[in-house]
């Protein structure tokens, strides 16, 4: 059967280096696992060889699906869009890992979805654009530190494992790639209102160069609520979001919540 023709709009860059594929597959050792975007199965073949892994693959591209059904008839394969799939229906109970050489054009959306299922996903690993990998693993004070760094690091320990050159893909992408692994940490719940936390992080980073006094204005003075002055909160508001750790964002969220008189409606 013919090779799959790479389609740009699906973010298709097929990995051609088998040793890299094997190394990526080894970032997960066992358990129920979803592979996103198997393509022609370069990673899949190693995942299938590991008898400790119970694999389900999700592929949106009909041509790749036909190829996989021919070459890997034993593979549990679903033709569909990972972003639209109801994972609770697909896997009604228990934990599952997520792995892939991901479609780079939707990698952020994939990670937001992983966050939606964070209590069921102990490990998420795979290959993404190097720049995005640096963002995810970045620490406060760093230029790359942003929304996804804070939201993911609140629940996951993130390892930047290794960098991958563009020449081991067909066709080669314009950017370098990197392999990461995220392992769920011990924090079950944040010590604050989690919805407000997300809003604070997103709103602050939407204007990342500004002091948070300015960027958080919409949250701070929304209408009828007056703020009680609080020294610690005032200090936070003179900072820029990239200076704050996950723990400090949690503290800030609590201070914002408490400082609103009659705070029932700030979310």
Binding track over 32-51 against ligand SAH, x by CB under 6 A? ----xxxxx-xx--------
201: tokens are 């992080």
Exposure string of 186-217, with b = 16+ CB inside 10 Å and e = fewer, is: eeeebebbeebbbbbbebbbeeeeeebeebbe
**Between 103 and 241, whose beta carbon lies closer to ligand SAH?**
103
State which of residues 82, 96, 111, 145 lies at the interface with ligand SAH (CB under 6 A).
82
State which of residues 12, 27, 203, 215 lies at the interface with ligand SAH (CB under 6 A).
12
72: tokens are 């890997």
Angle at 112 between CA 78 and CA 168, to 5 degrees: 65
Tokens 């400090």 found at: 248
CB of 36 to ligand SAH, least distance (A): 5
Question: Between 107-116 and 130-137, two packed helices, what is the crossing angle to 10 degrees?
Answer: 40
Question: Could you tell me which residues are beta bridge partners of residue 14?
Answer: 170
| Under rule CB under 6 A, residue 111 binds ligand SAH | no
Tell me which stretch binds ligand SAH (CB under 6 A): 99-107, 116-124, 141-149, 171-179: 99-107
State which of residues 66, 83, 91, 115 lies at the interface with ligand SAH (CB under 6 A).
83
Residue nearest to ligand SAH (CB): 37
**Between 82 and 111, whose beta carbon lies closer to ligand SAH?**
82
Q: What is the DSSP string of 77-146?
A: EEES-TTT--HHHHS-SS--EEEEE--GGGHHHHHHHHHHTTTT-SEEEEEEEHHHHHHHHPPTTSTT--
Size, binding site for ligand SAH by CB under 6 A: 24
**Between 65 and 182, whose beta carbon lies closer to ligand SAH?**
65
CB of 251 to ligand SAH, least distance (A): 37
Binding track over 60-79 against ligand SAH, x by CB under 6 A? xx--x---------------
Distance linking the first and last C-alpha atoms of the chain? 54
**Between 86 and 231, whose beta carbon lies closer to ligand SAH?**
86
State which of residues 34, 68, 98, 103 lies at the interface with ligand SAH (CB under 6 A).
103
Q: Which stretches of the chain are assigned E, i.e. beta strand?
A: 14-15, 31-36, 53-59, 76-79, 97-101, 123-129, 156-164, 169-170, 177-184
**Between 13 and 130, whose beta carbon lies closer to ligand SAH?**
13
Question: Between 194-206 and 246-259, two packed helices, what is the crossing angle to 10 degrees?
Answer: 110
Tell me which stretch binds ligand SAH (CB under 6 A): 101-109, 133-141, 150-158, 214-222: 101-109
CA dihedral 103, 105, 107, 112 (to 10 degrees): -130
**Between 77 and 255, whose beta carbon lies closer to ligand SAH?**
77
Binding residues for ligand SAH (CB under 6 A)? 10-15, 36-40, 42-43, 58-61, 64, 81-83, 101, 103, 106
């Amino acid at each position: 059967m013919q090779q799959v023709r790479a389609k740009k709009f699906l973010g298709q860059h097929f990995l051609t280096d088998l040793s890299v594929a094997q190394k990526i597959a080894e970032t997960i050792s066992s358990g129920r696992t979803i592979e996103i975007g198997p393509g022609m199965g370069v990673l899949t073949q190693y995942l299938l060889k590991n008898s400790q892994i119970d694999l389900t693959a999700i592929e949106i591209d009909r041509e790749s699906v036909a190829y996989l059904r021919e070459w890997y008839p034993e593979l549990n394969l679903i033709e569909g869009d990972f972003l639209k799939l109801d994972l609770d229906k697909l896997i009604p109970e228990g934990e599952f890992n997520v792995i892939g050489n991901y479609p780079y054009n939707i990698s952020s959306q994939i990670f937001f979805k992983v966050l939606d299922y964070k209590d069921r996903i102990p490990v998420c690993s795979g290959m993404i654009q190097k720049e995005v990998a640096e963002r995810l693993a970045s620490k406060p004070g760093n230029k790359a530190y942003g929304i996804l760094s804070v939201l993911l690091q609140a629940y996951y320990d993130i390892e930047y494992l290794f960098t991958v050159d563009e020449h081991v893909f067909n066709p080669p992408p314009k950017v370098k790639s990197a392999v990461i692994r995220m392992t769920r940490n011990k924090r079950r719940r944040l010590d604050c209102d989690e919805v407000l936390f997300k809003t604070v992080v997103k709103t602050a980073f939407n204007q990342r160069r500004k002091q948070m006094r300015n960027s958080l204005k919409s949250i701070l003075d929304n209408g009828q609520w007056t703020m009680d002055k609080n020294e610690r909160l005032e200090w936070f508001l003179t900072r820029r979001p990239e200076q704050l750790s996950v723990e400090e964002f949690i503290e800030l969220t609590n201070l914002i919540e408490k400082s609103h008189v009659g705070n029932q409606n700030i979310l």
